[in-house]
Structure 1
Amino acid sequence: MTKNNDSSWIKSTCAYCGVGCGIEAKVQANGKLEVRGDEEHPANLGKLCSKGLKLGETVTTQGRMLSPSVHGEDCSWDHALSHVASTFSDTIAKYGQDSVAFYVSGQLLTEDYYVVNKLMKGFIGSANIDTNSRLCMASSVVGHKRAFGEDIVPGNYEDLELANLVILTGSNLAWCHPVLYQRLKAAKARHGTKIVVIDPRETASCEIADLHLPLFPGSDIALFNGLLAYMAKLNQINQKYVEQHTEGFDEALELAKRFSNITSVSLATGLKTADIETFFQWFRSTPKTVTVYSQGVNQSTSGTDKVNSILNCHIATGRVGQPGSTPFSITGQPNAMGGREVGGLANTLAAHMEFGNPEQSELLSEFWETSNLATKPGLKAMNMFEAIETGKIKALWVMATNPAVSLPESNRINAILASCPYVVVSDCVESNDTLKYAHVRLPAQGWSEKSGTVTNSERRISRQRRLLPTPGMGKPDWWIVSEVAKKMGFEKQFSYRSELDIFNEYVEQTRLGNEVGKSTARALTLESLSGMTPENYQSFAPRQWPAKDGVCPERLFGDGNYATPNGKGRFVAVDFKPPALSLSERYGLILNSGRIRDQWHTMTRSGLSPSLSENDSVPQLEIHPFDAADRGIKDGHLAKVISSIGEQIFIAKVTSTVSVGQCYAPIHWTHTNCSDGKVCTVIPSNTDPFSGQPEFKATPIEVKSVKTYLDAQIVSRSPLDKTKLNAIPAAFWVSQQCDSGVLYSLKLTVKTLELEDLLAALMDDGQPTLVIASSGEAQRVVYLQSGKFGLAAAIYPSSLAGSQPDISQLVSAEAEPEVMHGFLAGTLKAKSRTICTCKKVTKADIENAIDNTGVCSVKSLGELTGAGTGCGSCVAELEQFIGNAKPISITPYERQVESACGK
């Protein structure tokens, strides 16, 4: 529990991705949380990415939901919970158990997930509970079940370091799982690991790639079927293994033979035949191969088949669960794996028990002491919202997620939420795009207040520990659900005193029918953790499952024994199908979507950190120079993205990292922090027929230039009214957190405008009336707080090169008069854009190091400035500085937002 015998450091687990990094945290004297990596945690060995390092900046009471409310009126917990229980009970009594639903989240702890799944499937009697893991991992889940017999990731992180060849397909590991990327990069430096990146874009992960395969979006099956056929043609299949340990090979190979000629693979994928040949030869000659796959594979209308096309190649060569040789699905969220374990998806039951197995259903009914266990799968996410739309579902409970932003066809989803007769939202934040539809709002605990467990991508269970008190009336999610369950009449089965009670119950559930040789047996078991005491639970050290007495395997299926009824791995015959929607004369570009380096999901947490907003602070549309020129789109100007279902505006980033005919946009911006930039507004709801996972990576679009005339920025000590922001003559606005305030960037549709009038229109009634303004073309205006020389808000033009002020001093608690005068005069020192978030290294720092010392390597640059020596996510950008022997160019809009506040 402690490091260096300092008990003030508490071990916990990071709140972000599925790597599941261990952290240590300490509450400082000022109440702030200091965070560092846990050197003893096997997942990260002390390393953290930029987001993990800045977790302390996100722990705040700002924007927190502090009390329950019903129909907009604050109330007691008893009243709110009684309202939810009675409404759900009445709805079920009138319309049946399938008239209610839960939509939950990979942000929940396993104990939270367990309780809500138990209530829904065990006592309400419906499986209408799904999770935002449907948007990221569902295709891998189905692929694993089809091939392995159970949703299992066979390998572990060490395999990335033991492999001689690592294939990253549909995974920008450098940005999405940076700590694993650093482990892989270090392994390459030690023993020359070959790395292949399969991705339509040139991502930051290509920095260490020996081969980049920029295939056409959605063409993965053609490539991997071609690989299987190639291996068979050259007699490189492990025939003994296939005969003894697998079934279905002939059928899978027959379909794969469609791509037995490398030319046919090239035509389908757009790849050069020489590059395909190289990739195939490397796979053939390298037994120690790990294939890492993530959202670029999963988020597709053929995502499940893509997964199985990868697994087919590994099974055919016996490269499953071997040291340094295995397929490896990398999870998106911190507890997507834990949610899958306990049954958080609509099509699974609990503890890897499945619908359609009467013996498992009987065991679970007896264990939960219920006669109302759900008997069939429930509705997956998109089907669930369609059922609300048609009136079949009358009541929805959303927990710790933001479907108004994250689900495709965002406008339609918002209309569905608005029409739903009863919406309950449990969350820790006061405001997001989904909460505005809530009839009942329930304040939940946030990270640093929660206590429980999570499971990472290598099946490793870790503790999240309570670090800080919960502000207001916030409660654990498991407690909220349990109290509603009690009020619905299930007091006995939900009388938990703590999260430990739930964990122990879950451990016992994993033992049900799990004796060797039984038809109900599963690989998932935690039997050696039975009867954990409070002391054991509090000191629990990270460990992988299966957890049995004696030696537990770090890898699964390495002996050729799978989790299928006959113990054999299954080949799945899959055929290549293009994305659901084709290009047309109007919609002539393909839109891909995904993450950026320093932000997470819809930024309700990461957006609170000023540091994480300093590198990418606006939603950008990446577009190739050829396509931009063809459409009259300039770098840094506005671009309108139009699809068959909607349109949104982004800042254009003209770059050759995307191929001709393709664009890329981030998923993070919402109508809470931007007038546009909400990418799911333009993405249709086409889904995989097996997994129900939407196709986020291949939307046909057209892109048009949007004309604006003036740019301005506003810094405000408190958030501005969004209704007023949307009423000003701006084609686009976006906000970001900065030290002591909020920074707004505006693109205006008028040619002339008095900035004083614009700021006045945005200030609330009763705001300070003391206004100071400079004159001339570069007019600057400040509103001062009453009674003291402190800033309430300021506005300034942001189109004049070199005039962007470092506003961190301006919004400090007591700005000095000379700072205010310097701002008004336009002489306040300019702020340089942050390149390395971890070490707070700016563009100016890097330029000075290069100019003054002549450094010629990223390593030397790191030694001088610290850049790239943290999580390493910025190294690809640093390479551009070194490679060009001069600073990389940045967009005009990035130049404007160089005024974003720094420390």
Structure 2
Amino acid sequence: MSRQTTASTCCYCGVGCGVLIEHDGEQILGVSGDPTHPANFGKLCSKGSTLHLTGDLAARALYPELRLGKALARGRTDWDTALEHAATVFAATISEHGPDSVAFYISGQLLTEDYYAFNKLARALVGTNNIDSNSRLCMSSAVVGYKRSLGADAPPCSYEDLELSDCVMIVGSNMAYAHPVLFRRLEEAKSRRPQMKVIVIDPRRTDTCDLADLHLAILPGTDVALFHGILHLLLWEDWVDRAFINAHTEGLAELKNLVRDYTPQMVAQLCGISVEHLQQCAEWVGTSKSFLSLWCMGLNQSTAGSAKNSALINLHLVTGQIGRPGAGPFSLTGQPNAMGGRETGSLSNLLPGHREAANAEHRAEVAAYWGVEKLPDTTGLTAIELFEQVQSGKIKAMWIACTNPAQSLPDQQTVRAALQACPFVVLQEAFHTTETAPFADLLLPAASWGEKEGTVTNSERRISHVRRAITAPGEARPDWAITVDFAQRLERRLRPGQPSLFAFEQPAQVFDEYKQLTRGRDLDLCGISHALLDRLGPQQWPFPDGALNGTPRLYMDGIFPTESGRAQFVADPYRAAKEQRDARFPLTLITGRLRDQWHGMSRTGTAAQLFGHVSEALLSVHPDELRRYRLQNGDLVNLKSRRGSVIVAVGSDDSVRPGQAFLPMHWGDRFLKGGVNALTQPAFDPLSKQPELKHSGVRLEPVKLPWHLFALVEGDVQQHFEALRPLCEDFSYVSLSLTGRERPALLIRAASAQAPDPQRLHDIDQQLGLNDGPVLAYDDPRRAICKRVRIDQGRITAIRLAGETLAQHWLQNLWLEGRADEQLRRWLLAPLSTPPGSAGATVSPRKTLCNCKNVSEDAVCAGIRNGLDLQGLKQQLGCGTQCGSCVPEIKRLLAASVQPIAFTS
């Protein structure tokens, strides 16, 4: 077939970028930004621009797999057998133990139509509110903050407010990594209007801070105290909008009594910042013509997440900075359709159309519309509670869709024990390689990005039509279709002879039924349809019948969807995070995102070039901490919390304050033995039930693992991954990643206290292709050192070092250069450990600074030495000219190259 282009949306963060998918009807060949989409106007980040390189078929679930006992392996089956078996098990479980003995755990990556089908299945057919989403880990505190303060879960702003604001406060978000397209938009706005003030509040000095006029590096978890301290100063200096307060708010008197005690001196000490910086922040907030706040997981993932959200919104209410251009509290959504999930009721406490499951009137409205007698009135279980009930045996059957709880939930030891104990686990998933897949009794292959149709809602309430470009591979099916097929089979058992609740044949029918539940509500989108979105493009809700266009901003009339019509000041006192530093756990572990990876890496982890910037898990600590523990960069440490431990390499990073440590959240057990969330805690906010993933007490313990392994093999990386990961299970430390661009390869680093059984090395070498063929080998049994390199047609194709690995980076660079010269042969066949002409450990692997244009850090540094400035580097190398994510790092290299002038007398 000829090459075609299909307009769709990106499947990563909540920015909701439009993409143009280039394909031939069977395969996706390329992707570019859609210049007509109002979320991104053609721009894409490093993740979005490589979407066509992800989703390796070897990692995809392609057909249903079923096992009939926990001790048995899954085997291939057909859809009819799979869904009939699932319906039989669910029906029997419900009959014997009641509707609340089953549960559904779904995802912010589903389409709105998928969400709606799942909600109707759980609440109308099964009769349970046990349906929660991984958005509970992401946005539930923002939901509570908006609802308590403003009356509805409705972000009031638009992306254009980033360009119109005079003062932008970014809180708990490394926006440059997590929402890079929006950050570029803010960056460009500030370059045009340098007088715009940018405040960044974050314990770490991230790339986002490079744009800041003021960085408040507060101590983790002290956000509420900071916001109360700012409010104290706003009231003291009379930087408030009294007319707005009197006409449109209530509750300020109680809040004033609370914040009276949050004096600048007390707040500065509590937050670990200076009084001068606190005062400067308050002045900019209070005196700017427009004030916009942006926040993400740093506020939400906390035992005080709801209080943090409301305390921030208080600043907007007291200054009247809401409902007008350039102003308002704007939460940045973490997943592509977490907003759509909230709209359809895909948290256990919600119902479709921004209704509450605990509200009898709301339940009656939805039940009447669905044509069922009633909806369940018992409270549904939230994510953490849900898995606790699975482990206790109260949940007997669980359906998981498009999410990976065996990687993403905190306290992984408990989560995995729960999954193992559950009598029946269904996993509806596009990738068979996730950490959750081994626990599935039934694996159902789902269609993925570019393969299904529906809608998503981005952070600014903008609904986009997601269009299918190609047919899903194998027997994979769209999520809504799987859910509807199962529901029809289940209702024949639970409601025999009654009309079907699931008479859907197309996703547009699902959307059209769902949207009627929003009629007259704050999010009314009855005027939207798939056809309208095709005709007019993406639209912001509310968009009622008869509307000609969407709604850019909410609350411009000062009327809020509360009982009184007024916004509410919320007076929650500051409460410290659950785990504080102490003698046993003297460090605070912070988690966050990498620039080029996303969530649990089930998709990004299949693209080798996305490992070019950061290739492996690294624990970042302040140089003072390295000295305190007498550690060097790259040393392995046992990182321990109260729940578990993980062995990881450590690195010096002065962007992290002493007493803190940072570890990216993406590394699950598949890539790093144990995974990051072996350490994190399940303690959650009492209102939002969102866990405190950002803040855990940990300690470092140096480990002595003298035996090291390094392996690299190109070819079918997913096949190598699946074969080699189990062979490394007995090693104390295991790190797997991908490398390369034109020639992707699997990279393994491992360590252990002693050398493994020779058979284990033989099995590893067999998979690496090092047991026969053109292989150079050297063995030193006395020192337990052996080296293997395979050279095909003058080029390295596989490497394995065992015992010690000082030459690993040198060899990796030789592989990257595609050469195998005599220098390699002399080194390999001699009793030398370090590479020729080096001290061994000083050689480092090449780092890709600009993924979009494949520009290495070495090339940028060479350009700087040749006198190029930022514009010169862009023109000559192309770096920084596409998504721009590498620009902050390039600027730091330029700044570091400027040497002070020495004066002599």
Same fold (TM over 0.5): yes
Shift in alpha-carbon separation, 1:475–1:784, aligned structure 2, 3 A: farther
2:800 to 795, 804, 809: 795
Which whole-Å CA distance do the structure 2 matches of 1:26 and 1:147 have between them? Answer: 44
Contact kept in structure 2, 1:611 and 1:837, CA below 8 Å? yes
1:111 matched to 2:113? The reply is yes
Contact kept in structure 2, 1:755 and 1:779, CA below 8 Å? no
Shift in alpha-carbon separation, 1:552–1:823, aligned structure 2, 3 A: farther
1:657 aligned counterpart, secondary structure: coil
Letter in 2 for 1:67: Y
Shift in alpha-carbon separation, 1:100–1:134, aligned structure 2, 3 A: same
Shift in alpha-carbon separation, 1:737–1:804, aligned structure 2, 3 A: closer
Shift in alpha-carbon separation, 1:749–1:375, aligned structure 2, 3 A: closer
Which whole-Å CA distance do the structure 2 matches of 1:235 and 1:843 have between them? Answer: 50
Corresponding position of 2:766? 763
Which whole-Å CA distance do the structure 1 matches of 2:817 and 2:83 have between them? Answer: 46
Letter in 2 for 1:661: G
Contact kept in structure 2, 1:256 and 1:574, CA below 8 Å? no
Which whole-Å CA distance do the structure 2 matches of 1:822 and 1:190 have between them? Answer: 58
Write the mapping of 1:459-858 to structure 2, written as runs, cut at 5 A.
459-489=461-491, 492-511=500-519, 514=520, 522-529=521-528, 532=529, 536=532, 538-539=534-535, 541-548=537-544, 549-550=546-547, 552-676=550-674, 678-709=675-706, 710=708, 712-717=710-715, 718-720=719-721, 721-722=723-724, 724-726=726-728, 731-736=733-738, 738=740, 739-749=742-752, 758=761, 760-764=763-767, 769-770=772-773, 772-775=775-778, 780-782=787-789, 793-796=798-801, 798-800=805-807, 802-807=810-815, 832-851=846-865, 853-855=866-868, 857-858=869-870
1:229 matched to 2:232? The reply is yes
Which whole-Å CA distance do the structure 2 matches of 1:142 and 1:31 have between them? Answer: 42
Write the mapping of 1:111-260 to structure 2, written as runs, cut at 5 A.
111-192=113-194, 193-259=196-262
Task: Please identify, of 78-87 and 728-737, the stretch whose mean Cα deviation from structure 2 is larger.
Answer: 728-737
Contact kept in structure 1, 2:130 and 2:348, CA below 8 Å? yes
1:702 aligned counterpart, secondary structure: strand
Which whole-Å CA distance do the structure 2 matches of 1:858 and 1:759 have between them? Answer: 50
1:341 to 320, 340, 343: 343
Tell me how far 1:197 sits from its aligned partner: 0.5
Which whole-Å CA distance do the structure 2 matches of 1:90 and 1:244 have between them? Answer: 57
Which whole-Å CA distance do the structure 1 matches of 2:282 and 2:109 have between them? Answer: 38
1:218 aligned counterpart, secondary structure: coil
Shift in alpha-carbon separation, 1:819–1:32, aligned structure 2, 3 A: farther
1:212 aligned counterpart, secondary structure: strand
Corresponding position of 2:832? none
Contact kept in structure 2, 1:711 and 1:799, CA below 8 Å? no
1:35 matched to 2:31? The reply is yes
* Count of aligned residue pairs for this structure pair: 860
Corresponding position of 2:409? 407
CA deviation string 1:407-457 (max 9, x = no partner): 110111001100011100000111221111111110000111121111000
Which whole-Å CA distance do the structure 1 matches of 2:269 and 2:252 have between them? Answer: 25
1:50 aligned counterpart, secondary structure: coil
Task: Please identify, of 744-753 and 377-386, the stretch whose mean Cα deviation from structure 2 is larger.
Answer: 744-753
Corresponding position of 2:66? 70
Task: Please identify, of 584-593 and 19-28, the stretch whose mean Cα deviation from structure 2 is larger.
Answer: 19-28
Corresponding position of 1:23? 19
Letter in 1 for 2:856: T
Corresponding position of 1:900? none
CA deviation string 1:126-181 (max 9, x = no partner): 11100110001000001111111110100011111100110000011100000010
Letter in 2 for 1:502: V
Tell me how far 1:464 sits from its aligned partner: 1.4
Tell me how far 1:755 sits from its aligned partner: 11
Contact kept in structure 2, 1:798 and 1:804, CA below 8 Å? no
Shift in alpha-carbon separation, 1:424–1:729, aligned structure 2, 3 A: closer
Which whole-Å CA distance do the structure 1 matches of 2:258 and 2:318 have between them? Answer: 15
Tell me how far 1:565 sits from its aligned partner: 2.3
Which whole-Å CA distance do the structure 1 matches of 2:203 and 2:170 have between them? Answer: 12
Letter in 2 for 1:799: L
CA deviation string 1:783-802 (max 9, x = no partner): 589xx999874325752374
Which whole-Å CA distance do the structure 2 matches of 1:733 and 1:142 have between them? Answer: 38
Contact kept in structure 2, 1:348 and 1:377, CA below 8 Å? no
Which whole-Å CA distance do the structure 1 matches of 2:897 and 2:231 have between them? Answer: 44
Which whole-Å CA distance do the structure 1 matches of 2:230 and 2:414 have between them? Answer: 40
Shift in alpha-carbon separation, 1:507–1:713, aligned structure 2, 3 A: same
Which whole-Å CA distance do the structure 2 matches of 1:89 and 1:754 have between them? Answer: 49
Contact kept in structure 2, 1:768 and 1:792, CA below 8 Å? no
Which whole-Å CA distance do the structure 2 matches of 1:819 and 1:611 have between them? Answer: 28
Corresponding position of 1:284? 286
Corresponding position of 1:519? none
Contact kept in structure 2, 1:482 and 1:494, CA below 8 Å? yes
Which whole-Å CA distance do the structure 2 matches of 1:669 and 1:886 have between them? Answer: 36
1:865 to 861, 874, 877: 877
Letter in 2 for 1:563: P
2:192 aligned counterpart, secondary structure: helix
Which whole-Å CA distance do the structure 2 matches of 1:589 and 1:526 have between them? Answer: 48
Contact kept in structure 1, 2:770 and 2:789, CA below 8 Å? no
Tell me how far 1:597 sits from its aligned partner: 0.7
1:417 to 413, 416, 419: 419
Write the mapping of 1:265-304 to structure 2, written as runs, cut at 5 A.
265-304=267-306
Contact kept in structure 2, 1:716 and 1:794, CA below 8 Å? no
1:327 aligned counterpart, secondary structure: strand
Which whole-Å CA distance do the structure 2 matches of 1:37 and 1:629 have between them? Answer: 46
Shift in alpha-carbon separation, 1:823–1:381, aligned structure 2, 3 A: farther
Tell me how far 1:868 sits from its aligned partner: 1.7
Identity %: 36
2:699 aligned counterpart, secondary structure: strand
Contact kept in structure 2, 1:103 and 1:132, CA below 8 Å? yes
Letter in 1 for 2:257: E
Tell me how far 1:759 sits from its aligned partner: 5.5
Contact kept in structure 2, 1:334 and 1:455, CA below 8 Å? yes
Shift in alpha-carbon separation, 1:75–1:819, aligned structure 2, 3 A: farther
Shift in alpha-carbon separation, 1:637–1:540, aligned structure 2, 3 A: farther
Contact kept in structure 1, 2:53 and 2:607, CA below 8 Å? yes
Which whole-Å CA distance do the structure 1 matches of 2:10 and 2:591 have between them? Answer: 24
Corresponding position of 2:892? 880
2:398 aligned counterpart, secondary structure: strand
Q: What stretches of structure 1 of length at least 5 have no aligned partner? A: 1-5, 515-521, 888-903
Shift in alpha-carbon separation, 1:535–1:688, aligned structure 2, 3 A: closer
Contact kept in structure 2, 1:755 and 1:780, CA below 8 Å? no
Contact kept in structure 2, 1:451 and 1:466, CA below 8 Å? yes
Task: Please identify, of 149-158 and 118-127, the stretch whose mean Cα deviation from structure 2 is larger.
Answer: 118-127
Shift in alpha-carbon separation, 1:363–1:559, aligned structure 2, 3 A: same
Give me the CA root mean square deviation.
2.8
Which whole-Å CA distance do the structure 2 matches of 1:675 and 1:668 have between them? Answer: 13
CA deviation string 1:339-379 (max 9, x = no partner): 00000001111111223433332221121111141224311
Task: Please identify, of 193-202 and 862-871, the stretch whose mean Cα deviation from structure 2 is larger.
Answer: 862-871
